[in-house]
């Protein structure tokens, strides 16, 4: 079946602009995660959704970052007033909790490479 998909694959924007990054999880996966990976680092957690609600948003670096998942499937990560330090690969992952017959393993998409000039 189809894996996690993310669009766009690359996004170049100017400092101060607003961007939206989209994630389509694996069908039926109720949990969705956003991570950010900077050069030379491992992925860093941003936010986690269980269904439509954000179960844990402790990784969002500041209030310029916001994410939604209005229907419990597709999620959008929104970054306002982008800064050069926001440049990174933004990864999305989804999982199916063990109670629903899943393994809770997080499966990642290919990421969106964001470059802020």
Partner 1 sequence: DQQVKQNSPSLSVQEGRISILNCDYTNSMFDYFLWYKKYPAEGPTFLISISSIKDKNEDGRFTVFLNKSAKHLSLHIVPSQPGDSAVYFCAATEGYGGSQGNLIFGKGTKLSVKP
Question: Is residue 40 a contact point for partner 1 (CB under 8 A)?
Answer: yes
Task: Kindly state the smallest distance separating residue 57's Cβ from partner 1, in Å.
Answer: 10
User: What is the distance between the alpha carbons of residues 50 and 14, in angstroms, rounded to a whole number?
Assistant: 32
**101 touches partner 1 (CB under 8 A):** no
Does residue 95 belong to the site contacting partner 1 (CB under 8 A)?
yes
**Sole residue written with tokens 């916001």:** 66
Residue 14: Cβ within 10 Å count: 10
Residues binding partner 1: number (CB under 8 A): 29
Per the CB < 8 A criterion, the answer to whether 75 and 32 are in contact is yes
Q: Of 59, 66, 68, 72, which one interacts with partner 1 (CB under 8 A)?
A: 59
d(CA 4, CA 106): 10
| Span near partner 1 by CB under 8 A; candidates 13-21, 29-37, 62-70, 75-83 | 29-37
Rounded Cα–Cα distance for residues 106 and 32 (Å): 8
Q: Which residues make up the interface to partner 1 (CB under 8 A)? A: 4, 31, 33, 35, 40-45, 48, 50, 55-56, 58-59, 91, 93, 95, 97-98, 104-111
């Amino acid at each position: 079946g189809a894996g996690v998909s993310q669009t766009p694959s690359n996004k170049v924007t100017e400092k101060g602009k607003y961007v939206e990054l989209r994630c389509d999880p694996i069908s039926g996966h109720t949990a969705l995660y956003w991570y950010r990976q900077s050069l030379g680092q491992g992925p860093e957690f941003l936010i986690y959704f269980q269904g439509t609600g954000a179960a844990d948003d402790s990784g969002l670096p500041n209030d310029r970052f916001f994410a939604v998942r209005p229907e419990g499937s597709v999620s959008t990560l929104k970054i306002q007033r982008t800064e050069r330090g926001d440049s990174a690969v933004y990864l999305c992952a989804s999982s199916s909790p063990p109670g629903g017959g899943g393994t809770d393993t997080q499966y990642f998409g290919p990421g969106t490479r964001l470059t802020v000039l």
